[in-house]
């Protein structure tokens, strides 16, 4: 449990992706089975543990610690699990180190009635960092900033297998993943135990007109790029599963799709909200995401559909080795219930200028560009450069005023690199978003100098700057948001240009942004 506690602590304080991967892969290499498998499960969210409520934890702490001292401490620390981990009185002879497997075992197997005593007994045996790790497991909230995908990439770094290979079998495996680790160290490949497994998806790379020019348009098929969610719908052997592009199962939130998956095969496409023929904006789809169950009302008001563009298996045959044109023909020959599942149309074009025109004037706002796919390539997992291109529409831009800056981590240590910017609302500047990138290293140095010279107030690592500098912010879209003071959340904002030339008074107004919604 000590190594797992150290792992969580380091991950929680490490911001850099590469550093996180290093820490994780070292842990996975150094930790024996089955502990590392349980840790992997905890990080990828596949661990099904008995959840402990905050009120139970408070009660347990109350049995050991004076109530007033606890209240003062909680007030100081600000986090319940952390307070309990720190304040829990040490016992004279805690015994040998508890393994992560033992701790997980307690949380998996203890009955509801016996749970409080079991947790207290476990806390007695742990050191403060271990207690925090245990309580994070027990409250189901690790908060270490690691996605399931990142954990699998770290896993891939420990052995000879690529992350796509791991994702291909991932879904059929269960914690503590002994066959998986055996395979990574040279053993036999675990066969996906379950039917309807996930197949790693083929991804596109961005392209510019200059890069397209030397290519032959006749070698490519064109489709719209839909602003939905890339999914893989698999119906095999009586099982139906809907996967995100990283292999997470998301079917529970989309029973309407699952019901319509009346076929035998694996298909690739975009998940969208569609009312009649009209495809709704991404924000509508967001309302259906991340839910464990879905209400009747939302099913009616936000009906989901699949818009397919590829086919991976069909009635027992693996179609991935076939060239795209043949796969497309097989997809068009297949029958789907059309009110829920349709095909993404092929866009006719002869020259790249036709594509430029199409991209400039898409027929619906939910289209975010054009996809170009080589006719003759098989379906290749990962992101090979060449066969599939995405040519996104130009981002939206707005001129905003720099309001706050926060210092960065890792390579940006010592630089103010995380910026909050705002727009005019009458005579006030209202914060509308944050951007961490888009600028060059040289521009970062200039921004850092500006921040230091124009600081008006400091709050810990954050500096408020005089509202003098205008930055052009580029972004991919807007959502309404109750969590933002402006009522709007930007998608993928970045600083595209620093407008040293422009006076702050001439920055854009909030109404301008609202009109872009």
Partner 1 sequence: MIRPEEIVCPTEAGLYCPPGGFHIDPLRPVPRALITHGHADHARPGHGAVLATRQTLDIMAIRYGEDFTSRRQIADGPLRIGDVTVSFHPAGHVLGSAQILIAPDNGPRVLISGDYCRTPNPTCLPWEPVACDIFITEATFGLPIFRHPDPLAETERLIASMAEFPDRPHLVGAYALGKAQRVIALARAAGHDAPIAIHGALKRLCDYHVEQGIDLGPLVPATDPEEARLILAPPSAFASPWVQRFRDPVLCYASGWMTVRARARQRGIELPLVISDHVDWPQLTATLQDLAPQEVWITHGTEDGLMRWCELQGLPARPLRLVGYEDEPE
Residues of this chain that bind partner 1 (CB under 8 A): 6, 10, 12-16, 19, 22-23, 26, 65-66, 68-69, 72-73, 76-79, 82-83, 86-87, 89-90, 128, 406-407, 409-411, 413-415, 448, 452, 460-461
The three-state secondary structure class of 56 is helix
Which residue, 19 or 396, is less far from partner 1 as judged by CB? 19
Which residue, 240 or 412, is less far from partner 1 as judged by CB? 412
Which residue, 110 or 406, is less far from partner 1 as judged by CB? 406
Report in angstroms how near the CB of residue 69 gets to partner 1 at its nearest. Answer: 6
| Angle, CA of 114, 117 and 118, to the nearest 5° | 75
Order of strands, sheet of 220-226, starting from the edge strand that comes earlier in the sequence: 205-206, 388-392, 367-374, 220-226
Report in angstroms how near the CB of residue 87 gets to partner 1 at its nearest. Answer: 5
Helix (H) or strand (E) holding 489: strand 488-491
Which residue, 335 or 458, is less far from partner 1 as judged by CB? 458
Distance separating alpha carbons of residues 378 and 325, to the nearest angstrom: 9
Which residue, 457 or 512, is less far from partner 1 as judged by CB? 457
Report in angstroms how near the CB of residue 239 gets to partner 1 at its nearest. Answer: 42
Distance separating alpha carbons of residues 470 and 191, to the nearest angstrom: 56
Report in angstroms how near the CB of residue 64 gets to partner 1 at its nearest. Answer: 10
Write the CA distances from 510 to 65, 400, 503, integer angstroms.
51, 10, 17
Distance separating alpha carbons of residues 476 and 491, to the nearest angstrom: 5
Report in angstroms how near the CB of residue 73 gets to partner 1 at its nearest. Answer: 5
Distance separating alpha carbons of residues 308 and 346, to the nearest angstrom: 11
Report in angstroms how near the CB of residue 5 gets to partner 1 at its nearest. Answer: 12
Which residue, 79 or 109, is less far from partner 1 as judged by CB? 79
Q: What are phi and psi of 384, to 5 degrees?
A: -65, 140
The three-state secondary structure class of 1 is coil
Q: Is 129 exposed, middle or buried (0-12, 13-18, 19+ CB in 10 A)?
A: middle
Residue 71 has which token pair? 């209240």
Beta-strand pair 428-435/488-491: unpaired
Residue 116 has which token pair? 């409080």
Which residue, 144 or 398, is less far from partner 1 as judged by CB? 144
Which residue, 120 or 462, is less far from partner 1 as judged by CB? 462
Which residue, 227 or 418, is less far from partner 1 as judged by CB? 418
Report in angstroms how near the CB of residue 77 gets to partner 1 at its nearest. Answer: 5
Judge contact between 378 and 310, C-beta under 8 A: no
Report in angstroms how near the CB of residue 460 gets to partner 1 at its nearest. Answer: 5
498, HSE (Cβ side, Cα atoms, 13 Å): 19
Q: Is 507 exposed, middle or buried (0-12, 13-18, 19+ CB in 10 A)?
A: buried
Report in angstroms how near the CB of residue 72 gets to partner 1 at its nearest. Answer: 5
Distance separating alpha carbons of residues 204 and 341, to the nearest angstrom: 23
Which residue, 24 or 261, is less far from partner 1 as judged by CB? 24
Beta-strand pair 229-236/265-275: antiparallel
Q: Which of 469, 437, 434 is nearest to 454 (CA)?
A: 469
Report in angstroms how near the CB of residue 333 gets to partner 1 at its nearest. Answer: 54
**355 in the Ramachandran plot: left (φ > 0), alpha (ψ -120 to 50) or beta?**
alpha
Which residue, 13 or 500, is less far from partner 1 as judged by CB? 13
Report in angstroms how near the CB of residue 414 gets to partner 1 at its nearest. Answer: 3
């Amino acid at each position: 449990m000590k190594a797992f506690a150290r792992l969580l602590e380091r991950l929680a304080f490490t911001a850099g992706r590469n550093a996180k991967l290093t820490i994780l892969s070292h842990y996975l290499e150094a930790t024996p089975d089955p502990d590392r498998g349980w840790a992997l499960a905890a990080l990828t969210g596949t661990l099904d543990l008995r959840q402990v409520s905050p009120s139970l934890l408070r009660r347990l702490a109350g049995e050991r610690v004076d109530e007033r001292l606890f209240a003062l401490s909680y007030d100081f620390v600000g986090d319940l699990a952390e307070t309990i981990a720190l304040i829990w009185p040490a016992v004279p002879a805690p015994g040998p180190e508890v393994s992560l497997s033992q701790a997980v075992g307690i949380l998996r197997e203890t009955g509801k009635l016996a749970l409080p005593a079991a947790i207290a007994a476990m806390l007695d045996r742990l050191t403060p960092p271990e207690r925090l790790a245990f309580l994070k497991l027990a409250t189901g909230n690790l908060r270490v900033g690691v996605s399931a995908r990142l954990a699998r990439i770290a896993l891939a770094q420990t052995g000879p297998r690529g992350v796509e290979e791991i994702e291909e079998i991932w879904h059929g495996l269960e914690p503590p993943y002994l066959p998986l680790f055996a395979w990574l160290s040279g053993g036999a490949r675990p066969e996906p135990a379950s039917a309807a497994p996930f197949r790693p998806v083929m991804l596109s790379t961005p392209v510019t007109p200059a890069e397209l020019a030397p290519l032959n348009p006749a070698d490519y098929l064109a489709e719209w790029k839909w602003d939905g969610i890339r999914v893989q719908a698999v119906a095999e052997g009586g099982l139906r599963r809907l996967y995100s592009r990283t292999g997470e199962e998301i079917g529970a939130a989309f029973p309407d799709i699952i019901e319509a998956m009346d076929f035998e095969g694996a298909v690739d496409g975009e998940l969208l909200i569609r009312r009649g023929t009209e495809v709704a904006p991404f924000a509508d789809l967001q309302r259906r995401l991340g839910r464990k169950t879905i209400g009747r009302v939302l099913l009616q008001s936000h009906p989901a559909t699949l818009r397919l563009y590829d086919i991976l298996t069909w009635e027992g045959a693996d179609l991935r080795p076939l060239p795209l044109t043949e796969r497309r023909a097989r997809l068009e020959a297949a029958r789907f219930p059309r009110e829920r599942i349709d095909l993404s149309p092929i866009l006719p074009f002869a020259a790249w200028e036709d594509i430029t025109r199409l991209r400039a004037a898409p027929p619906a706002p939910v289209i975010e560009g054009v996809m170009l796919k080589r006719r003759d390539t098989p379906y290749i997992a990962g992101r090979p450069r060449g066969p599939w291109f995405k040519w996104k529409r130009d981002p939206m831009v707005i001129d905003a005023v720099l309001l706050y800056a926060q210092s960065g981590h890792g390579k940006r240590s010592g630089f103010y690199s995380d910026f909050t910017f705002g727009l005019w609302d009458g005579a006030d500047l209202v914060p509308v978003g944050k951007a961490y990138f888009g600028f060059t290293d040289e521009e970062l140095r200039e921004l850092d100098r500006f921040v230091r010279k124009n600081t008006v107030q400091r709050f810990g690592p954050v500096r408020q700057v005089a509202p003098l500098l205008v930055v052009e912010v580029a972004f991919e879209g807007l959502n309404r948001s109750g969590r933002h003071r402006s009522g709007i959340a930007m998608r993928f904002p970045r600083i595209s240009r620093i407008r040293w030339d422009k006076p702050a008074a001439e920055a854009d107004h909030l109404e301008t942004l609202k009109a872009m919604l």
